[in-house]
Structure 1
Amino acid sequence: MIIGISALLFNIEEALDLCEKFSDIKHIELGIDNLDECIKLYKYKDRIEKLELSLSIHLPMELNACESVEYIRKSWVNFTKNISNDLKDFDIKYFNLHLGYVISNRLKKNKEKYLNNSIEFLRELCKEINCEITIENVYSNYGDFSNVGNTVYDFEYIFKVVKNNNVGFCYDTGHYLINKDNYIDSLKDKIKVIHLSDNDGIDDIHIGIGRGILQKKHIKEMLKIEAKYLILEINYEHIKETINNLNAIMGEV
Structure 2
Amino acid sequence: MKKEIPKLATTSFIYQDTRIMNVLKLKHLFDEIELLFFESKREYDQLDKNELTLLKKIDTKYSAHLPYDRNLNNPDDLEYMISFIKNLTSLNVSYFFLHSNGDDFESIEKICHLNPSVLIENTVSSNIFDSLKNTKIKYCYDIGHSLLNNENPFEIIKKYGEKIKYIHLHGVNADKDHQEICHLDLNLVKYIFDFAIDYNVTISIELFDFSKLLNSLNYLLEVFNKYGYSYHRWNQKW
| TM-score category (smaller protein) | 0.7 to 0.9
Could you tell me whether the CA contact under 8 Å between 1:220 and 1:250 is conserved in 2?
no
Match of residue 31 from structure 1: 36
Could you tell me whether the CA contact under 8 Å between 1:29 and 1:55 is conserved in 2?
yes
Could you tell me whether the CA contact under 8 Å between 1:98 and 1:138 is conserved in 2?
yes
Q: Structure 1 unaligned runs (5+)?
A: 101-113, 140-149
Q: TM-score, normalised by structure 1?
A: 0.72
Q: Which amino acid counterpart does residue 131 of structure 2 have in structure 1?
A: Y
- Cα offset, 1:47, TM superposition: 4.9
Which structure ranks higher in relative contact order (CA pairs < 8 Å, sequence separation ≥ 6)? Answer: 2
* Partners of 1:168 and 1:127 in 2: CA distance: 11
Tell me the SS of whatever aligns to 1:159: coil
Could you tell me whether the CA contact under 8 Å between 1:96 and 1:135 is conserved in 2?
yes
Q: How does 1:130-209 map to 2 (within 5 A)?
A: 130-139=115-124, 150-151=125-126, 153-160=127-134, 162=135, 164=136, 167-182=137-152, 183-200=156-173, 202-204=175-177, 206-209=178-181
Superposed CA offset, 1:117-172 (max 9, x none): 432122211333x3411111223xxxxxxxxxx03x33112122x1x2xx211111
Matched, 1:44 2:54: yes
Root-mean-square deviation (CA, aligned residues, Å) is 2.5
* Partners of 1:219 and 1:245 in 2: CA distance: 11
Change (3 A) 1:208 1:14: farther
- Cα offset, 1:14, TM superposition: 4.0
Matched, 1:4 2:9: yes
Identical amino acids, percent of aligned pairs: 21
Match of residue 233 from structure 2: none
The range that moved more, 190-199 or 3-12, is 3-12
Q: Structure 2 unaligned runs (5+)?
A: 1-5, 229-238
Q: How does 1:1-253 map to 2 (within 5 A)?
A: 1-7=6-12, 11-20=18-27, 23-32=28-37, 33-34=39-40, 36-45=46-55, 47-49=57-59, 53-65=60-72, 70=73, 72=74, 74-100=75-101, 114=102, 117-128=103-114, 130-139=115-124, 150-151=125-126, 153-160=127-134, 162=135, 164=136, 167-182=137-152, 183-200=156-173, 202-204=175-177, 206-210=178-182, 212=183, 214-225=184-195, 226-234=199-207, 235-251=209-225, 252=227
* Partners of 2:20 and 2:88 in 1: CA distance: 18
Match of residue 142 from structure 1: none
Q: Which amino acid counterpart does residue 12 of structure 2 have in structure 1?
A: A
* Partners of 2:52 and 2:104 in 1: CA distance: 31
Runs of 4+ in structure 1 displaced over 4 angstroms? none
- Cα offset, 1:240, TM superposition: 3.0
Superposed CA offset, 1:160-199 (max 9, x none): 2x1x2xx211111221221122322221111111111112
* Partners of 1:232 and 1:191 in 2: CA distance: 16
Could you tell me whether the CA contact under 8 Å between 1:92 and 1:131 is conserved in 2?
no
- Cα offset, 1:222, TM superposition: 1.0
Change (3 A) 1:88 1:173: closer
